Structure 1
Amino acid sequence: MPTYYTKDHEYIRVEGDTGTVGITHYAQEQLGDVVFVELPEIGRAVKQGGEAAVVESVKAASEVYAPVSGEVVAVNAALPDAPATVNEDPEGAGWFMKIRLADTGELAGLMDEAAYKALVGA
């Protein structure tokens, strides 16, 4: 499954016409201990670059932006009760939502893993 990254430190792992979205390992390190997650409603339309969710840590609250436009088709219902999962496994069990892509062409504007690692100096 190809994974794409945004300059705002979200990832989207694409399978067919749906992408799983969350924040990167780098992002959770910058935030520190995550204490609260607010997820969008299923069925909500999101626009590429628009606010889709909120993550709060002991340091700050941050928006999670949609890497692509589309419809939210699933959310990680376990996260609000276990927000630390975002710290423990941000690119696995700590995913936020799944989006059905409205336009797969939007993926071309995102970074691949090598470009993202170069951005964050990994």
Structure 2
Amino acid sequence: MSLTVSPELLKQAQDGKVDRSDFLACVRESLPYAWSLVSRLAAEREQSGAVFVDNQIAPPDEAAYGQLFRALASTSIREALEAHFGVRLAFQNCHRVAVFDLGAEEAYASFTTPEAQLLNQTPALVNC
């Protein structure tokens, strides 16, 4: 499962009225590695004023990899993270999360090309 959902949050979903802050709390508690990575990158981008910053360090274990995959593969989780942190997210390989300023269209487009994906390949990442 991607998220550990409390009975109260499940009831909100069944009623069709999920509170955004409750959903974000569920994501933060269920996927702490992914949350902390996105949070750190968003803060770095904000502090530096760069159009984007990215993570180049592999997660410490399989559980952390799984959290990144679940967070970034889910449209609703990704969109909630983007809205909460005021950024746009992109993902390459198994751990290269990038956080973009919302106005950084050119940098985002360049990062997400097939060429960028291919150039970011290394033998070490074949089975990540």
Normalization by structure 1: what TM-score? 0.29
Higher relative contact order (CA 8 A, sep 6+): 1
Q: Which has the larger radius of gyration?
A: 2
Q: Would you tell me which structure has more helix in proportion to its own residues? A: 2
Q: TM-score, normalised by structure 2?
A: 0.28
